[in-house]
Amino acid sequence: MAGGLRMLHVVGARPNFMKAAPVHAALAGKAGVSQILVHTGQHYDAAMSEIFFRELDLPEPDLNLGVGSASHAAQTAEVMIRFEQVALEQMPDRVLVYGDVNSTLAAALVCAKLHVPVAHVEAGVRSFDRTMPEEINRLLTDQASDLLLTPTVEGNENLAREGIPSHRIRFVGNVMMDTLLRLFPKALERWDGGLSDKWGREDYALVTLHRPSNVDDPDRLVRLMGTLDELSRDLPMIFPIHPRTRKRLQDLSIEPRSGRFHLIDPLGYLDFLALQRHAACVITDSGGIQAETTFLGVPCITARANTEWPVTVATGTNTLAGEDTHALEQAVREVLDGHGKRGTLPPLWEGHAGERIADALTWLTAL
Ligand code: UD1
């Protein structure tokens, strides 16, 4: 193709960065491919964005749309308005969108309307819970995208059920694991270089909670924090707090009573990976962390009624504790009793998804 292929990546929020890095690296090795990296600015704090670019070796974004925080409608609309301009100016041959955040859907919709071919990395993932903003983003992004790159066999089945023709779907595996495998040695260096002395003197649980269903309902947040506070007497808790959760805790004046419940600032990729690897268990409501813990063989207790990664429950290390804090407590106690799940790896979670994605994008001359 004259002038080569212009690939434009759109990233916006923390969970996008570890997915884009391996694809960007794989495409950098392809002759005739040029790349443009656009950050929507959905996440803008240094601890939520900048540190990831540095640690993941992602180049500085070529453009930052600076959308920042707003309601779902306002944030999505603002990304659309600003990204439309970029897409018209840059005239990319392909746009890549990642995961399920508002920026993902906004960019995919813009591309669909401009007839710019768009590829969705991490397509077909479903929680079947339409009260989750991410589920709406996932469903609509997949409908708007031309090429659907799936991380699991279930992803292909979900897309087929939704009527997406098979020629638009490629099972490429889980690209998050490419990043995890590549940076694992560096994460272990961080552990040996100080984290182990700070946190590794006894077993601990690593906690992350930020979903609206857990943190925007004051009763639920109070109950969850109370349960974790209580559990920390037997198993210290390390909780790097997402800014939205931090705000909610401040609004409700929630502070742990136990000195073994450590609320800390959000961590970078390497420190968080090191802490995951060495945790007795991870308690989370994140999607990506359910997958990462399965990869690491660390028991994961998910404080949600459903999961978009059912394979991590079926064959991995994940236990769904639902919305019942007693079930959460019970699951942690099982870990303490030595009965945490170990599990096996799903197919194609072996560190080469980025290359398969790059191949899928460059083989197809016309999407
Ligand atoms: C977003 C994604 C979610 C993902 C999460 C990871 C959507 C719908 N949700 O949720 O899927 O799991 O990112 O973090 O896209 N804030 C800051 N600094 C920042 C970013 C956010 O202070 O850099 C605060 C703001 O008060 C903001 C709130 O966090 O209103 C929520 O941010 P937002 O991007 O709307 O959603 P997340 O909860 O981060």
The number of angstroms, rounded, from the C-alpha of 228 to the middle of its chain's C-alpha atoms is 23
Spatial CA neighbour of 198 closest among 250, 264, 154: 264
Spatial CA neighbour of 322 closest among 214, 247, 222, 245: 214
CATH 3.40.50.2000 in the chain is located at: 5-174+349-366, 183-336
So what's the pLDDT on residue 235? 97
Q: Is the distance from the beta carbon of residue 43 to the nearest atom of ligand 1 less than 6 Å?
A: yes
Q: Is the distance from the beta carbon of residue 69 to the nearest atom of ligand 1 less than 6 Å?
A: yes
Q: What is the DSSP letter of 76?
A: H
Ligand 1 atom nearest the C-alpha of 15 is: 6
List the residue whose alpha carbon is closest to atom 32 of ligand 1.
69
Q: Is the distance from the beta carbon of residue 101 to the nearest atom of ligand 1 less than 6 Å?
A: yes
Q: Which helix (H) or strand (E) holds 38?
A: strand 33-39
Which is catalytic among the residues 210, 242, 278, 352? 210
Candidates 3.90.800.10, 1.10.1740.10, 3.40.50.720, 3.40.50.2000; correct CATH number of 5-174+349-366? 3.40.50.2000
List the residue whose alpha carbon is closest to atom 35 of ligand 1.
69
- Residue 318 Cα to ligand 1 middle (Å): 24
Cα dihedral 271/276/277/281 (nearest 10): 150
Active site residue 115: no
Query: Contact, 229 vs 256, CB < 8 A?
Result: yes
Q: What is the DSSP letter of 265?
A: P
So what's the pLDDT on residue 3? 64
List the residue whose alpha carbon is closest to atom 9 of ligand 1.
101
The number of angstroms, rounded, from the C-alpha of 324 to the middle of its chain's C-alpha atoms is 24
- Residue 121 Cα to ligand 1 middle (Å): 20
So what's the pLDDT on residue 18? 98
Three-state SS at 352: coil
Ligand 1 atom nearest the C-alpha of 211 is: 38
- Please list the residues that pair with 284 across neighbouring strands: 208, 302
pLDDT tens sequence for the chain (367 residues): 446 899 999 999 999 999 999 999 999 999 999 999 999 999 999 999 999 999 999 999 999 999 999 999 999 999 999 999 999 999 999 999 999 999 999 999 999 999 999 999 999 999 999 999 999 999 999 999 999 999 999 999 999 999 999 999 999 999 999 999 999 999 999 999 999 999 999 999 999 999 999 999 999 999 999 999 999 999 999 999 999 999 999 999 999 999 999 999 999 999 999 999 999 999 999 999 999 999 999 999 999 999 999 999 999 999 999 999 999 999 999 999 999 998 999 999 999 999 999 999 986 554 4
Candidates 3.40.50.2000, 2.40.10.10, 3.40.605.10, 3.40.640.10; correct CATH number of 183-336? 3.40.50.2000
Ramachandran class of 124: left when φ > 0, alpha when ψ lies in -120 to 50, beta otherwise: left
Ligand 1 atom nearest the C-alpha of 70 is: 30
Cα separation, 105 vs 204, whole angstroms: 37
